[in-house]
């Protein structure tokens, strides 16, 4: 007799709904029987610019070394990050995407009987990693779609070990300023690790969003996580990093896989980090695209949640699923966010100008058809 391997899984895992990614281009191309090149994907907050040429060259150089294990300590990348971020080398920890870091935090600090606090409409991985280790989730109602930091403080109890906050948040794009962050950090008990997820922070340069790194020296219970998947354009390679106290970095290093970031990813991330022109162009393109999309939405009479990321949550004022399906039929993939408690919204990643135009034209058609 075979075992019931669902019932045998850890209780938190049995109840888990897997992460739902954006629909892949090839999948839609197969379904519609059309050329994948004609499809526009604005569904996964990827960088539409393509990878930095310097990152591509670094990957080519690294190919000769494919038989070797990567540097498990990621020395070159950590050195660059430590000097760029103004922290010690032992405060930097690398992840297989910043997703890996979120998971390692849960593995290291959460367990049954303990809990993590995060906001309603927050990034889907927070509930997944919390539940996977059997910990409880304290989900705090959002305020105007964003984090209600004072309410999140109140949700912390003696069993809370981790608070996840994202600035800006995905999928809402909402943000908080330096004062709000400082007040929050001042009041969070010292034994609670605050994970400040800054996956999109590079897009917010020059805005009222604080740089989380400026709070690290004052708050040893703060961990800032960042990624090369968004503004650095390397989503496929899976590289993220955490900046924290040396103690927290040491703990996370104990539970990560020995070679969690591969050598092509390490080489590309080093090159991308030094390609300041690429980053500037990513920002410029994003700012222009944000403007273009907002203008287009306004003309279509649609509203949206103001965003500081590379995406916008569009409010359709009605169930968004039929519009999502209609857009798919037009060859445009966006992201439904009903699983985030936002059934009337669609999250749209800012694309190249031609891609944004395709989306706006497709939206106009689909909305007219009703
Ligand atoms: C808020 C937020 N955090 C973390 C991630 C994880 O990204 P990655 O694992 O590619 O670094 C994402 C990806 O969409 C995100 O939106």
- Cβ–ligand 1 contact at 98 (below 6 Å): yes
Mutating to test ligand 1, I would choose from 41, 106, 119, 125 the residue with most ligand atoms within 8 A of its C-beta, which is 125
- Cβ–ligand 1 contact at 170 (below 6 Å): yes
- Cβ–ligand 1 contact at 99 (below 6 Å): yes
DSSP state of 186: H
Q: Where are the domains of the chain?
A: 20-50+277-369, 53-274
Distance CA(299)–CA(295), nearest Å, equals: 6
What separation in Å is there between the alpha carbon of 173 and the centre of ligand 1? 13
Which ligand 1 atom is nearest residue 239's CA?
A: 11
Domain 53-274 indexed as CATH 3.40.50.720 = no
Distance CA(215)–CA(193), nearest Å, equals: 13
Atom 12, ligand 1: residue with shortest CA distance: 199
| Partner residues linked to 304 by β-bridges | 314
Each residue's pLDDT tens digit in the chain (370 positions)? 578 999 999 988 998 988 888 899 999 999 988 889 999 999 999 999 999 999 999 999 999 999 999 999 999 999 999 999 999 999 999 999 999 999 999 999 999 999 999 999 999 999 999 999 999 999 999 999 999 999 999 999 999 999 999 999 999 999 999 999 999 999 999 999 999 999 999 999 888 999 999 999 999 999 999 999 999 999 999 999 999 999 999 999 999 999 999 999 999 999 999 999 999 999 999 999 999 999 999 999 999 999 999 999 999 999 999 999 999 999 999 999 999 999 999 999 999 999 999 999 999 999 977 6
Distance CA(209)–CA(283), nearest Å, equals: 15
CATH number for region 20-50+277-369: 3.90.1150.10
Backbone CA torsion sign across 222, 237, 29, 39: positive
Mutating to test ligand 1, I would choose from 41, 44, 98 the residue with most ligand atoms within 8 A of its C-beta, which is 98
Residue 186 φ then ψ, to 5°: -60, -35
Which ligand 1 atom is nearest residue 122's CA?
A: 1
DSSP state of 228: S
What separation in Å is there between the alpha carbon of 117 and the centre of ligand 1? 18
What separation in Å is there between the alpha carbon of 170 and the centre of ligand 1? 8
Which ligand 1 atom is nearest residue 228's CA?
A: 11
């Amino acid at each position: 007799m075979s075992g019931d391997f669902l019932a045998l899984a850890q209780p938190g895992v049995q109840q888990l709904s897997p992460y739902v990614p954006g629909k892949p281009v090839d999948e839609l191309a197969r379904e519609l029987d059309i050329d994948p090149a004609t499809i526009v994907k604005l569904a996964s907050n990827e960088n539409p610019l393509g990878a930095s040429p310097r990152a591509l060259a670094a990957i080519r150089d690294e190919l000769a070394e494919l038989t070797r294990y990567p540097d498990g300590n990621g020395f070159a990348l950590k050195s660059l990050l430590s000097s760029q971020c103004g922290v010690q080398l032992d405060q930097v920890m690398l992840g297989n995407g910043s997703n890996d870091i979120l998971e390692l935090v849960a593995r290291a600090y959460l367990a049954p009987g303990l809990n993590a606090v995060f906001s309603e409409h927050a990034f889907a991985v927070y509930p997944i990693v919390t539940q996977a280790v059997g910990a409880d989730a304290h989900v705090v109602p959002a305020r105007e779609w964003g984090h209600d930091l004072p309410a999140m403080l109140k949700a912390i109890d003696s069993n809370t070990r981790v608070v996840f906050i994202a600035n800006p948040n995905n999928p809402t794009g909402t943000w908080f300023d330096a004062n709000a962050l400082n007040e929050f950090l001042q009041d969070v008990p010292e034994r609670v690790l605050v994970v400040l997820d800054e996956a999109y922070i590079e897009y917010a340069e020059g805005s009222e969003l604080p740089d989380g790194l400026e709070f690290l020296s004052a708050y040893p219970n703060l961990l800032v996580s960042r990624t090369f998947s968004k503004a650095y354009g390397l989503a496929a390679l899976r590289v993220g990093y955490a900046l924290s106290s040396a103690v927290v970095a040491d703990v996370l290093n104990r539970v990560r896989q020995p070679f969690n970031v591969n050598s092509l990813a390490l080489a590309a991330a080093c090159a991308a980090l030094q390609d300041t022109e690429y980053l500037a162009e990513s920002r410029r393109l994003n700012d222009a695209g944000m403007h273009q999309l907002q203008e287009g939405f306004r003309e279509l009479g649609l509203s949206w949640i103001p965003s500081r990321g590379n995406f916008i949550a569009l409010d359709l004022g009605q169930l968004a699923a039929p519009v999502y399906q209609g857009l798919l039929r037009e060859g445009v993939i966006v992201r439904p966010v009903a699983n985030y408690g936002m059934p009337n919204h669609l999250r749209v990643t800012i694309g190249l100008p031609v891609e944004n135009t395709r989306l706006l034209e497709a939206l106009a058609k689909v909305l007219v058809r009703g």
